[in-house]
């Protein structure tokens, strides 16, 4: 598939079939994630793979009861290591690069998943402290996104995008 075809074809998927996802597929997603660009090549990302139903259920609850999370056979929780980024770039590293880098890795996961025929959704609405507790995430590491991954059980229509005309400025803002 062409890159643009993948970018435009991907949809957020919020319904999954129970068909399992192999570790090989998960590895492809993680490999794509680690090839994302990062400030100073610091690579501040960490990934937690969750398959246990009881943990997925707790994550769904922490994500403001988004129960489609527990339907997915695999969930990847992507975290950002603030300490790693701040060592290189101080406060800008901690508050900006760390999240930008991790977001790039997250997007790679979504795009490669789609190219493999898998569905994903970027879940950012969750109670951070609760997720930290469920997954025993140490201080200084921020959970950034919960990504349920599975074979899609829906085929949603594309959501509308703001036009180029609306978002682009030339020379100055
Ligand atoms: C930072 C971020 C947080 C998001 N959080 C949620 C979420 O908590 N639950 C959800 O169902 N979708 C969430 N989404 C998905 C968006 O709703 C979705 O990307 C958007 O509506 C566009 O639809 P599309 O992904 O199908 O193109 C999130 C997306 C981003 C980038």
Please list the alpha-helical segments (H only) found in the chain: 3-9, 23-34, 53-62, 68-71, 82-92, 98-115, 128-135, 164-167
Indicate the top mutation candidate among 122, 125, 157 to test ligand 1's pocket, ranked by most ligand atoms within 8 A of CB: 122
Q: What CA dihedral angle connects 108, 112, 118 and 120, to 10 degrees?
A: 10
Indicate the top mutation candidate among 107, 109, 121, 154 to test ligand 1's pocket, ranked by most ligand atoms within 8 A of CB: 121
Tell me: the pLDDT tens digits for 121-161? 999 999 999 999 999 999 999 999 999 999 999 999 999 99
Token output for 36: 């994302």
Model pLDDT, residue 12: 98
39 pLDDT higher than 90: yes
Model pLDDT, residue 76: 99
Give distance in angstroms: CA of 161 to centre of ligand 1: 13
Burial class (CB in 10 A: 0-12, 13-18, 19+), 69: buried
Give distance in angstroms: CA of 11 to centre of ligand 1: 9
Q: What is the mean pLDDT of residues 59-64?
A: 98
Half-sphere exposure of 66 (CA within 13 A, CB side): 20
Q: What is the DSSP string of 63-112?
A: TTS-THHHHSSEEEEEEEEHHHHHHHHHHHIIIIIHHHHHHHHHHHHHHH
Ligand 1 atom nearest the C-alpha of 13 is 26
Lining ligand 1 with CB less than 6 A are 11-12, 14, 66, 121-125, 159
Q: Which pLDDT band, with edges at 50, 70 and 90, does 1 fall under? A: confident
Query: 151, 119 in Cβ contact below 8 A?
Result: yes
Q: What is the mean pLDDT of the chain?
A: 98
57 pLDDT higher than 90: yes
Burial class (CB in 10 A: 0-12, 13-18, 19+), 28: middle
Prediction pTM value: 0.98
Q: Which pLDDT band, with edges at 50, 70 and 90, does 7 fall under? A: very high
Ligand 1 atom nearest the C-alpha of 125 is 8
């Amino acid at each position: 598939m062409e890159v643009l075809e993948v970018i435009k074809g991907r949809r957020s998927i919020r319904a999954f079939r129970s068909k399992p996802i192999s570790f090989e597929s998960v590895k492809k997603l993680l490999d794509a994630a680690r090839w994302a660009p990062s400030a100073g090549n610091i690579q501040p990302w960490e990934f937690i793979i969750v398959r246990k139903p009881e943990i997925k259920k707790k994550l769904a609850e922490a994500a403001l009861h988004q129960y489609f999370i527990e339907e997915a056979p695999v969930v990847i929780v992507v975290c950002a290591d603030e300490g790693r980024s701040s060592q290189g770039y101080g406060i800008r590293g901690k508050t900006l690069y760390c999240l930008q880098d991790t977001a790039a890795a997250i997007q790679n996961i979504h795009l490669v998943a789609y190219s493999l025929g898998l569905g994903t959704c970027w879940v950012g609405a969750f109670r951070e402290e609760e997720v930290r507790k469920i997954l025993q995430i140490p201080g200084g590491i921020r959970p950034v996104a919960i990504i349920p991954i599975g074979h899609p059980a829906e085929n949603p229509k594309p959501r509308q995008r703001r036009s180029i005309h609306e978002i682009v400025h030339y020379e100055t803002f």
